[in-house]
Amino acid sequence: MDAPISEFVLHRRVQFSETDASGLVHFTSFFKYVEEAEHAMWRAVGLSIFSRGAEVGWPRVSASFDFRRPLYFEDEFDVHLKVAALGSKTIRYAVELRKDDEVVAEGGVIIACTRREGGRLRATHIPPGIAARFAVARSS
């Protein structure tokens, strides 16, 4: 197995469907950008955050963004995703969206490892084979 991953960068361009009538990126798109980067990061370590019949799932239990500058249709930007904390049952990401090395938004997401028991989701320990693929990023 390769070294665990702690940071991932996804380069992207704003699509028209992600904007409002003025061409400004709608705030909900920022959360989709984070999820897209997260899924790419999981693929980079040979995993998928979702597979049919998987023993665990990964619902979001917290998500937030602070907006600094707008993004517009056709803007190119990078999503910087860091593993900020790796607990026994949760993973916390720190996120920055940058355009031309300037932070346009920053925030975080917490996902919980869950297992379905009796029709309900219950928090469970992250399987060792998954936890070993990630590492907490160094503070900058």
Find all residues with CB under 8 Å of 53, minimum gap 6, and list them: none
Q: CA 110, 61, 46: angle at the middle one, nearest 5? A: 50
* DSSP label of 75: -
108: phi then psi, degrees, rounded to nearest 5: -160, 160
The residues assigned a catalytic role are 20
Taking alpha carbons only, the member of 97, 86, 68, 90 closest to residue 10 is 97
Q: Which amino acid is at 77?
A: F
Q: How far apart (Å, rounded) are the C-alpha atoms in residues 28 and 40?
A: 19
Find all residues with CB under 8 Å of 122, minimum gap 6, and list them: 114, 115, 116
